[in-house]
Amino acid sequence: MHDLFAILSDGEFHSGEEIGRRLGITRAAVWKQIQRLREESGQEVESQRGKGYRLPNAVEMLDPDYLGKELAGVLPLHVLQTIDSTNEEAKRLLRKTGKPCLVVAEQQTSGRGRRGRHWHSPYAANLYFSLVWPVVAGMRQLEGLSLAVGLSVQGTLTRLGLTDSGVKWPNDVLVQDRKISGILLEVVGDPTDRSHVVIGVGINVNMVAEQLAIKQSWTSLALELGRTLSRNTLLVELICDLSDALQVQLADGFPAIREAWQAASLWQGRKVVLQAGENRIEGTVVGVTDTAELALDDGTGKITCYAGGELTLRLRDDS
Ligand code: BTN
C-alpha cells in the first residue's frame, strides 16, 4: 500500500499502466491495490477513465531522511508505515534494546487512547508518535509529567499560529472544547528502581474528513488554520520542544511549570464535574498543585485535590 500511496502522493493523475509498470504488477492488480488502499487508509482515491487515479490533494509523506537528519543526536528514530500502536511498538523496542527511542508511524491500526478508548489514526493524515524516556529520578520525575507534555504540545501548536487552544487536566490539548491532541503515558518497569516512560502523542494535523465517526468533538490543525501542514517539520518542532520540557521536568519537577500550565488551562475558575469511577464530584477549578493534582472548590471554600487516573472532567452546563 505504501508504494502505491507514495506514487499518488503528488496529487496528480497516474494511469493504471504507469502505476503497474512502476510497481511491477498488472493493471488488474493495480485496480485491486487501489481498492485496498481506499479501504485500509480511509483515503479517497479519484479514478477517471483515460486519466487514471489520483488523490484529491497532494499528501506529504513522513520523510525518514529529513527526520533522521534533523533529529540526529536527540534519539534513535524509527519511522514506520502501518503499526498496531506506536506505544506498543515502543514497548517492544524497549524490551529488545533497553534504550530510549522515538517511534513515529503513518498509520495505527489499534491506536489507543486513555481509559481504553480508540485513537483514530488514518494513513498519512496526522502525527502518531511515542517517545521512550528513562526515569532516573523516581516518582518526582513522573509527577506532573503528563501535564508537562500537554503544555509542551500546546506551546508548539500556539507558536504555529493556533489561537484559542489550551490544556485540559490532566493532559488533553483542546481548541475551545474540541480535542486536537491526546497523550497516553505508560510506565514500564518499577519507577522506584529502573524504569522508562513511554510518552505517546497523537495530534490531528491534516484530518478533515467529517465522515470520521469520532464521537468526541474534535478538530485538526488544517481545520483551524485553513491550510495543510508539513508533518515532518511539525514533528521536529514538537520533539525539540518536548525534549527541552523533559529536561526541565527532570531538573526542577512540575512546580517549575505549574503557573504556566495554569495560565494555559482552559477551565481555570470554571465550574466542572469530575467523574471518579462511580463518584460525581462538582466544584470550581482552583488550579493544580505542585504534584499536579486538580484542586476543586466545592462551593463552600473547602478545597479538595484529586490525582489523575480514571478521572474525567466535563464542564457543567451552567458555567
Ligand atoms: C487520549 O487522549 O485518550 C490519548 C490518545 C493518545 C494517542 C496516541 S497516538 C500515538 C500513541 N500510540 C497510541 O496507541 N496512542 C498514543
Q: What is the pLDDT of residue 216?
A: 58
pLDDT digits (tens, 9 = 90+) for 37-59: 988 887 889 999 999 999 988 99
- Among 103, 109, 128, 168, which is best to mutate for testing ligand 1, by the most ligand atoms less than 8 A from CB? 128
Dist CA 21 CA 19 (whole Å): 5
The CA 92 to ligand 1 mean position distance, Å, reads 16
The model carries a pTM of 0.92
- Where on the phi/psi map is residue 50: left (φ > 0), alpha (ψ -120 to 50), or beta? left
Q: What is the pLDDT of residue 212?
A: 59
- Among 62, 201, 313, which is best to mutate for testing ligand 1, by the most ligand atoms less than 8 A from CB? 201
The CA 86 to ligand 1 mean position distance, Å, reads 8
Which parts of the chain register pLDDT below 70?
Answer: 210-216, 308-319
Q: What is the pLDDT of residue 211?
A: 44
Give nearest CA residue, ligand 1 atom 15. Answer: 112
Q: What is the pLDDT of residue 106?
A: 96
**Cell numbers 517539520 correspond to what residue?**
233
Q: Is the CB of 128 under 6 A from ligand 1?
A: yes
The CA 257 to ligand 1 mean position distance, Å, reads 23
Other residues' Cβ atoms within 10 Å of the Cβ of residue 110: 12
Q: Is the CB of 184 under 6 A from ligand 1?
A: yes
| Residue in 313, 287, 302 with CA at minimum distance from that of residue 144 | 287
Active site residue ranges:
114, 179, 314
SS3 196: strand
**Cis-peptide, bond into residue 134, ω within 30° of zero:** no
Dist CA 129 CA 202 (whole Å): 7
Dist CA 64 CA 278 (whole Å): 46
Q: Is the CB of 183 under 6 A from ligand 1?
A: yes
| Bridge partners for 175 per DSSP | 165, 178
Contact call for residues 228 and 148 (beta carbons, < 8 A): no
pLDDT digits (tens, 9 = 90+) for 253-281: 999 999 999 999 998 988 888 887 778 88
Dist CA 9 CA 56 (whole Å): 10
Q: Is the CB of 261 under 6 A from ligand 1?
A: no
Q: Is the CB of 107 under 6 A from ligand 1?
A: no
DSSP 102: E
